[in-house]
Structure 1
C-alpha cells in the first residue's frame, strides 16, 4: 500500500484524539534505556490491552509446558471452546521489542477469537533479551510453532487447521510471524499456515529497503526524535538483542523464499510509528506477488496505540478492526457491530 509523500507526511502528524488525551493525561516519553523501567511500561501496556469489559468467557484456559531445542520448557496458553466441534487454530506471539512481554498479552483477544470463531487460540512464550540474545526468541518461536502444528488435532489443542491456521502478532511478534511465514514455505509445518496477522511489525531495516521503495521509507526519519518510540530507544533495544540485521530470522525482507508463496495477510499500521513504512512497503511487495492483503491504517497514531489509549474512538476502531480482520483471514464475515458487542464497546 504505497501512499504519496504528502500522505505519508500527513500520517505522521499526531491524531487529534491522541493529542487531546496526552494534554489531559501527560505521560513520560517512552525513551528510557533502563530495562526495569521499560519492562514496567510494557507490563502496563499489556494491562491496557486487556482492559475491555468483555462478555463473560465460558471457554477453557489452560497452560502447557513444551520442550525447546535446548531442553528449556516454554509455556503455551491455550484458550478454546468449553465444548463443541473443532475450529480453526490461531497462534499469537506477543510484542515487547524482544526485551519484554508475556503470553498474557492476548488474554481478552484470545477469548473473543474463541467466541467469534469457535477457535483454539494459542499464545506462545519466548525468551527475551538481554538475558537471551538473538536468535533465542526466534528459536523458541519456531520450536513452539512446530509443536503446535504437530499436535494441532491432539487432546491439548483439539483444533482443525483445515478450517484455518493463522499465525499473528504485534510488533516483535508480528516481525517473527512475517519471518516464519516465509521460512515455513521451505521447511513446511505439519499443517500449512493459511493466513497471517501482522500488527505494527518490523520487517526490514533502512539498509534492506528495496531500491524501488526507498523514496517511500520515511517513517524512521519522521519519528527519529518521537516521544514514544525514538531512534535512540530503537538503538538501545538493538544493543540489548544483538540481532543480525541480515538474517531472515530478524527481518522477513531478507528471506529468499518467493513472496508469491505467502498466505493471505492482514496488516494493522500506525501512522506516527517508525515501523509504519515497513508494513506499507511489505504489503505492496506482497500484492505485487499476487498475495491477498488487507490493510487498516491509523493516521497520527503512535506505535501500539490500540494497547495504550483505552476508550478513544481511534483505539476502539483499531480493536474492532482486529476482529473484522481475523474474519477476513478466515473467510468469514464479522460485522463491526458484532465485534463491538464482543468488546463491550
Structure 2
C-alpha cells in the first residue's frame, strides 16, 4: 500500500501540527468513521451519550451501545473500553467499531469511555477519571441496563490499555464487586524504559530497535511523557511491576503489533501472566505491522483481520461463541 502511494491517516511526526490542530483532525476522522457505522447499523444498535461524574466535580464523556432488540427489563453483559491516543489525543468514537460489533455479536452493553487529556491535566488524573467512572457504572447498572455478573470485560487500546492494566489490579486488590471477568489489551504499554529492571532487560529490545518506527516513535513517546508528567516510579505507570503481583487476575486477551516499539513489554507482561501467575491468556501478534495499523490503514487486509480477532477475543472473554449469522 505504501509503495502504491497510500498515505497513513495519522503521522508519527508529532511536530507537524499543534496539539489543538491534531486533536481537531483526529477527532473529525473518528467521528466520521463512527457516523458511517451508525448509519450502517441503524435499527440494530443504539447509541447513547452520557457524562459520568468524577471525584473533583468534573464529568467524563462516554458512549453507550445496546442492541435495539433488547427490552427495557433486560440486563446484559458489560464491555467497557478506553481509547488510546498517548494520553493527549482521542475520543470515545475511536472504540465505536469494536463496541458496535461486540453488541451485534454478543447482545451486550458496550461503553466507550473518555478521560481528561494532558497537558490540561497531569498524571494520574486519567487513571482517577477511569476508576471513578468504573465505580459509577457499577453503582448505576440499572441505568446502563447491564448485569456484570453475566460478564464484565474491561480494557482498551494503547494508552487506554495502559490505564486499564493497573485499574484491573486495583479492582482485584480492593475486591471490586461485581468483579471484572475479562481483560482486553490492545497494543498495551506495560513497562516504560525509565523503570526497566535487570530481570526484563534481555527481553526488552523493541523500544530501541523500533524507536524510529511508523506511527509511534521514541520522539512521540517523549512528547507524551512531557505532556503527562508521570511519576516513573509509580505502579500506575509501571503495571508490570505492580507491588502485589499478578495472580488471580481474570482471563486476558492481547493484540500485539510485531513492528511496534511497545511489542516486547506487552509480550513480557503476557508471559508473566500466563507462565508466572497461571492467568489464562490468548494472544494474537501481527507480524511486521506497526502500532495501531488498523487506524492508519483501515483498508489493509490485516485491519479487517484485527477487527475480527478483537470480536472473537471479546467472545472468548465472555465465554461466548461468535454468532454464525453475523
**Which TM-score applies when normalising by structure 2?**
0.90
2:109 to 105, 108, 120: 120
Structure 2: which 5+ residue stretches go unaligned?
none
2:149 to 152, 158, 162: 162
- Report the aligned-residue RMSD: 2.1
Alignment deviations for residues 182-239 of structure 1 (CA, whole Å, 9 cap, x no partner) = 1111223231000100001111112434533321211111111224221111111110
C-alpha displacement of 1:79: 1.2
2:52 to 62, 66, 79: 66
Does structure 2 conserve the Cα–Cα contact (< 8 Å) formed by 1:42 and 1:96? no
Q: How many residues align?
A: 317
When residues 302 and 54 of structure 1 are mapped into structure 2, their CA distance, relative to the original with a 3 A threshold, is farther
C-alpha displacement of 1:67: 1.5
Q: For residues 3 and 138 of structure 2, what CA distance do their matches in structure 1 show?
A: 43
SS across alignment from 2:154: strand
More displaced stretch, 140-149 vs 56-65: 56-65
User: Hey, what does 1:218 align to over in structure 2?
Assistant: 205
Q: For residues 26 and 126 of structure 1, what CA distance do their matches in structure 2 show?
A: 29
C-alpha displacement of 1:244: 1.0
More displaced stretch, 76-85 vs 176-185: 76-85
C-alpha displacement of 1:98: 0.2
SS across alignment from 2:88: coil
2:286 to 281, 290, 298: 298
Structure 1: which 5+ residue stretches go unaligned?
1-19
1:314 lines up with 2:298 in the alignment: no
C-alpha displacement of 1:116: 1.1
When residues 326 and 247 of structure 1 are mapped into structure 2, their CA distance, relative to the original with a 3 A threshold, is same
Does structure 2 conserve the Cα–Cα contact (< 8 Å) formed by 1:150 and 1:190? no
1:97 to 79, 86, 100: 86
1:30 lines up with 2:18 in the alignment: no
Q: For residues 22 and 54 of structure 1, what CA distance do their matches in structure 2 show?
A: 32
Q: For residues 93 and 137 of structure 2, what CA distance do their matches in structure 1 show?
A: 18
More displaced stretch, 201-210 vs 214-223: 201-210
1:148 to 128, 132, 137: 137
Q: For residues 108 and 290 of structure 1, what CA distance do their matches in structure 2 show?
A: 31
User: Hey, what does 1:273 align to over in structure 2?
Assistant: 260
User: Hey, what does 1:8 align to over in structure 2?
Assistant: none
Greater RCO structure (CA 8 Å; 6+ sep): 1
Alignment deviations for residues 109-160 of structure 1 (CA, whole Å, 9 cap, x no partner) = 22211111111111222100011111111110110011111222x1x21111
More displaced stretch, 68-77 vs 140-149: 68-77
Q: For residues 186 and 296 of structure 1, what CA distance do their matches in structure 2 show?
A: 28
When residues 37 and 234 of structure 1 are mapped into structure 2, their CA distance, relative to the original with a 3 A threshold, is farther
1:204 lines up with 2:204 in the alignment: no
C-alpha displacement of 1:257: 2.3
Alignment deviations for residues 81-123 of structure 1 (CA, whole Å, 9 cap, x no partner) = 2324322111111111000111122223222111111111112
Does structure 2 conserve the Cα–Cα contact (< 8 Å) formed by 1:194 and 1:263? yes
SS across alignment from 2:272: helix
Does structure 1 conserve the Cα–Cα contact (< 8 Å) formed by 2:106 and 2:322? no
User: Hey, what does 1:133 align to over in structure 2?
Assistant: 122
1:109 to 93, 98, 104: 98
